[in-house]
Amino acid sequence: MSHHPTIAVVGSGPIGSAYARLLVEGLPDARVVMFEAGPQLTERPGESVRNIADPAEKALARERSQGPQAGDHRESLGIPAGTVVEGMFTARQGTHLFDFGGAGSAHAPTFPAAAAATNVGGQGAHWTCAIPRPGFSEKVDFIADDEWDDLIREAEGLLHAQSAAFADSAVGRGIRSLLAEEFSGELPEGYGPSTLPVAGDPQPDGSIRWAGADVVLGPLIEPGNPLRERFELRDLTLVRRIERDGDRVTGVTVEDLRTRQTSFVPADLVVVAADAFRSPQLLWASGIRPAALGHYLTEHPVVISTVALDGERMSRYATVDELEAELARRAANAADPVAAVNRIPFSEPDHPFALQVMYSETTPFPMDPEHPLAKNRWGYVNMGYGMRKFPRYEDAVTFDDDELDYRGFPNMTIEYALTEREETEIAAATERLRRAGRALGTFVAEPRLMPNGSSLHYQGTMRMGPADDGTSVADPWSRVWGVENLVVGGNALIPTATAMNPTLMSVAIAVRGARKAVEELSARTAASVTA
């Protein structure tokens, strides 16, 4: 190994960015090259498109992220015309369906809303920025609690976590108070209605500059920072194959999508952190095929609704003057429709779900102007309950070497089904959602279960485990079993049934993997110097 190790990172989302930063910071002589198949959307690499003020510029950035649907198949996105639901569990602009209906489309009839973003920053350019901590059985049981807490704290620092965003919102205070009344005595202490932790930086005008992969990369993209000299980001560069010499990874073969030229990039370590479908697809295409690869797919079944807030009830906790002042302040930042984000977190045994409640002055769909609750003075909340999907081998993405997708990789087929266990929890969460809605006002969109894949929280397809027993792809430090110099990252590693947004958990797992990689590469470099 060279005294100056090279690390190849596949994928530019928050997880790949965490690896890049921690490896550059931890290895003073290392060079990191990051490969991203999509384009760079913003001047600052990986910035959230939610920070773009100009509507036309924002729409263009989102369209450029939509992979095959930025072109001929843009009408197959599955987003109803005129519908934009920021901060909710729906197909969002900036993403593209895997099963988009064209040549090379994946096969996902039982998981129709499966989607991804193809751009610098990945989903981190479009996400809701929600970063609640995992709790209870959501946590990985083979990582000790004290270490887990340390990993979470570092992950929160990388993501610029804010635990009290919108805490000064009078409307948000009223929503929390009414929910607390409804569920009084039913929830454990500390797990009642609260503000939703988010990733971003509060601004003087009361808005938030939302965090993307850019804040995770941090010094690696700051002009004049010496760490920047050891980091290279190549957009529109597709990693075609992970190359090996026996069981040892030696680098990656990449295709420059501008020139269509391919080349080999040698690397002392390869980190694959694309997403829960395309990462296992790359491993499969490279002949790396652990028994669990692609299996144990989970996401979050989601029930959503929209409620018009009841002015009489809300006015018990917030005055009309406070409402008007809040609306006036928000009008100064009309480009960002998210405000007063609240939640009831996951807890066990009686609340194994995660509720998110997003305030908005308008509904996410056109309302009949004659509807009595159209232009409701106190506004609306878009509410969603995320629930657990328990891991099963049968829920999986598999790959066909004889059929290629639109990029020339073995095509995907997704098989997925909800069992009686999930159906029971969905029914219980739906009833709680009805209670929450009735406590806040009147439903203008009744609770409904979203199609499979709608959460965009795809997990388990490269799950980590404590033993190489065929039920996991990676070891407790994210190293692929039986393959040297190969680390995987992302939501795909989560082995548990969770109900909360997974990004914080995945970054924490990446912190652990990066620490181990720094330790091992440092030892190997030292050994090569003394040899």
Tokens of 73: 């198949």
Report residue 198: phi and psi, to 5°.
-135, 165
Q: Alpha-carbon Rg of the chain, whole angstroms?
A: 23
Q: Give the number of other Cβ atoms within 10 Å of residue 81's Cβ.
A: 6
How much is the pLDDT for 72? 56
Give residue 208's pLDDT: 87
Q: Tokens 């704290």 label which residue?
A: 153
155: buried, middle or exposed (CB in 10 Å: 19+, 13-18, 0-12)?
buried
User: What backbone phi and psi angles, to 5 degrees, belong to 440?
Assistant: -95, -25
Q: Is residue 299 very low, low, confident or very high in pLDDT (cuts 50, 70, 90)?
A: very high
pTM confidence score:
0.95
pLDDT bracket for residue 340 (50, 70, 90): confident
338 — pLDDT class (breaks 50, 70, 90): low
Give per-residue pLDDT as tens, 440-474: 999 999 999 999 999 999 999 999 999 999 999 99
pLDDT class of 335 with cuts at 50, 70, 90: low
The mean pLDDT of the chain is 92
Catalytic residue among 73, 107, 160, 457, which?
Answer: 457
> In sequence order, which residues have a C-beta less than 8 Å from that of residue 486 and are 6 or more positions away?
242, 249, 269, 270, 272, 288, 479, 480
pLDDT of 205 reads: 75
Does the domain formed by 1-66+121-160+212-291+461-531 have CATH 3.20.20.370? no
Per-residue pLDDT reduced to its tens digit, 106-120: 999 999 999 999 999
Pull the structure tokens for residue 467. Answer: 């033993």
Helix (H, G, I), strand (E, B) or coil at 187: coil
**Could you tell me the residue ranges of all domains in the chain?**
1-66+121-160+212-291+461-531
Average pLDDT over residues 210-223: 98
Asked if pLDDT for residue 1 goes beyond 80, the answer is no
Instruction: State the average pLDDT over residues 225-245.
Output: 98
CA 316-309-383 angle, to 5 degrees, is 120
Each residue of 379-401: pLDDT tens digit? 999 999 999 999 999 999 999 99
Task: Provide the pLDDT for residue 84.
Answer: 39
Question: What number is the average pLDDT over the span 86-103?
Answer: 70
Give the model's confidence band at 324: pLDDT under 50 very low, under 70 low, under 90 confident, else very high. Answer: very high
List phi, psi (to 5°) of 415. -115, 130
* Per-residue pLDDT reduced to its tens digit, 250-297: 999 999 999 999 999 999 999 999 999 999 999 999 999 999 999 999
User: 465 and 475 in contact (C-beta within 8 Å)?
Assistant: yes
Distances (CA, A) of 504 to 124, 216, 398, 509: 12, 12, 27, 9
Which pLDDT score is estimated for 83? Answer: 39
Active site residue 300: no
Q: Which helix (H) or strand (E) holds 447?
A: strand 441-449
- CA 327 vs CA 291, 322, 338, 342, 346: distances in Å: 54, 9, 12, 17, 31
**pLDDT tens column, 61-82:** 988 998 887 765 555 544 444 4
The mean pLDDT of 411-428, rounded to a whole number, is 98
Q: Cα angle vertex 399, ends 393, 401, to 5°? A: 145
pLDDT of residue 69: 76
Amino acid identity for residue 68 in this structure? P
